[in-house]
Structure 1
Amino acid sequence: MNNKLRGPALLSSRDDDFDARLDALLAWESVSDKGVQQRVDDIIAAVRSRGDAAVLEMTHRFDRLEVSSMTELTLDAKRLAEAYKNISEQQREALATAAQRIREYHERQKPESWSYTEADGTMLGQKVTPLDRVGVYVPGGKAAYPSSVLMNVIPARVAGVAEVVMVVPTPDGVVNELVLAAAHVAGIDCVFTIGGAQAIAALAYGTESVLRVDKIVGPGNIYVATAKRAVFGQVGIDMIAGPSEILVISDGGTDPDWLAMDLFSQAEHDEDAQSILITWDSAHRDAVAASIEKLLPTMEREAIIEASLSGRGALILVSSEEEAIALTNRIAPEHLELSVEHPAAMAEQVRHAGAIFMGRYTAEVLGDYCAGPNHVLPTSGTARFASPLGVYDFQKRSSLIQCSPEGAAVLGQTASVLARGESLTAHARSAENRMPKSNS
């Protein structure tokens, strides 16, 4: 196999240059260049100053739509219901099944408010409150993902968010009916057919037609990612996502054709996606490489898959299962397949992964659509500190503190000492005011 042109790099952890080659494969910088950053800054400034007019102007410029008002870029609940009616019965059933599973999974994530009362009557606790309004960005054009609608909207609804606003670009006026149908199933009432940095700016700052939101979630291109980074702080965001990733650990017992297709499933997203296999069975690695070469010409997105595998893919031979786990924790993949005989025991040793797919029959793609857990996952090694999108991302927590007179006296003494140690006498005296006055 010509692995330079047709498939992933063949690496061995025993190679002298292994670490350097692996680091080069994993390197990904999601920050845009100065040119993109400047264009995004200009777009955000225009939307902030001119509102709807700037959004309309940029929609004409970037999506080639000549419209005179935001009304023409607004789809109401009736239009979404019409889209749902017009798709096939099979598609309606698939959306309903996926939505139900996603909703049931996320219902189990809901945190509750809590409190406890100390012996002196002081109450401490935490109040959980949903966000008021959330904006969901959904890619449009060729990259149309109804699954992203369900994964981003349903957890927000489960969290109790009262208003969810969806934006989706429709270049040349091409509307994806399945995306609109998914919006109907997820409970969206209104969709704006706008995209790019201008849509992010409209959600973050508000316009005459688009109400300002508290948080923006959902994937997009480099302009969307750059705009989300720019407005963070003005609003919350979910994450700055890099290209899709899959890492498969295989003990040699899984059909190589299955594994080749699992690697393809992420590689077909785009040329920058990353697909990696780790095994300690050299014959098995060669078999997977052969399956890749055999099956690649049968794929509709052959060119994209080939570019992805050739540019950022790898089949890695390690010396042991333990080394495979250590390497996995180093990579911290978005999606991790444990295609081994005893996946549960191995999963216990995995510290860093966005989602773990356990066993030979658990294809990662099931998580993309309908297993239930969220498919919005940390990429580019950020699974070291980040988690999948969930109900908790659409809620905030407020601390509750209520002191009894006795509690105020006890806590006041401690606060007074610490405040005076920091030379903050107003702090100290504020606490001391609630303390019993000495008779001496």
Structure 2
Amino acid sequence: MQSASRRSLAGGVIGTFVEWYDFVIYGLSAPVLAAHFFPKSVPTAALLGTFAIYAISYFARPLGGFVFGLVGDRIGRVNTLSTTVLLMGAATFATGLLPYFEQVGIAAPALLLACRVLQGFSAGGETSGGFTYVIECAPKHRRALWVSIGICAAVLPAVLVSVTILLVKEVIGPDDYFEWGWRLPFLCGGLLSLVGLWLRRSLEDSIEFAHALSQRNQGSGPRHRIKFSTTLASTILIAVQAVSGPLLVSYMYSYLTQVGKLSSSTAMETNMAAVLLLVLALPCFGAISDRVGRKPMMLAGALWLLVTAYPAMRLVSSGTVWEAFAGQALIAIGHAMFGAGGFVAVLELLPTSVRYTGHAIAYNIAYAIFGGTAPLVFQTLVATLGTPSAPSYYVIAIAALAIVVIRFTPETRHFHLRDGLDPAPRVDQLSNKGPMHVGR
């Protein structure tokens, strides 16, 4: 991979890394946050309140996605993404400085909510913008591979955060970690945003976007619109990742300690191993997607989750280390399969002139409705139904719905990025000549 290409890929996905670093660390810190930011009299209610704030923050994402999407489609990807990464970092850093419930009362969860809403608002424009930039810079025959590498940036934080928490606990001890040490990973997350800004300062918008912008400014070329049918289909496809991802990366740690009765260190280690498997699987499935197409990968991933989600949760709840890892591994493989086809397909369905906005709307609606509420739904299902396999019911339902949508979704592997679902004949489609990025 050439140096310029590596910079484009790294600059595009660094914000996604920062975004999910924050969301993962919130999920892994949920038991500690519940103890410090809510009354201690009812621990179950405190944990539900912590996950409720997690869910509410996701509902700020569609607004942020719409705002930053419009800006990114009009003035450019890079400048917009520089703003989102700074705002995310500020919210994460501020979370590490908040006072406790014992100190300020009800203001503690209110301040925590405010930080989460700011993080959600800025994150709403980050993933869609970052992946829009990545796919517009990627070679046509490697789009799924590049996007899959980008998805790794969304799951790698689970490994980094787990290692960070284990190291902090080892150095200062579990008691000090509980009292104040949990703040350190949040403060580090704020500093990571400065690294993201540094990586993006030397980037330029892709030639693909520059050409589309020039056509729009000159009033030439087709006028693209965001279709409701495309948004609806994209939202359902993204919902599969929005449910299976948080199950593995955000909720699983709490589940392993509460239901599986594993120690906090053992739970974190098995989860970290499963996430590493996911990171290794994603580029492999991405390369396969570039060869066989998006629909086969989406269908395989959805069917895998449909069939294995129930036995996976039974294994995870067994209380043994190897079965806990095996169950998480089943979820990781299904998530990787579907993501390698589904994420890139949603980006390819949209034309360049509205890709940032269109993807941000579908992506953030899906994560607001399905992803943000996922840990809360999982926890509620376990508490209400009294069965350890309860979280699998949610995964199975979403996977079944996605299979229906896949049936009516076109294969996008050979789509021209500038057109998406609205192909229009033009010279550069009839000839291999033209500037770099055109014809992708």
Q: TM-score range by the shorter chain?
A: under 0.3
Q: Which structure would you say has the larger RCO, counting Cα contacts within 8 Å and 6 or more residues apart?
A: 2
Larger helix share, 1 or 2: 2
Taking structure 2 as the reference length, the TM-score comes to 0.27
Larger radius of gyration: 1
Taking structure 1 as the reference length, the TM-score comes to 0.27
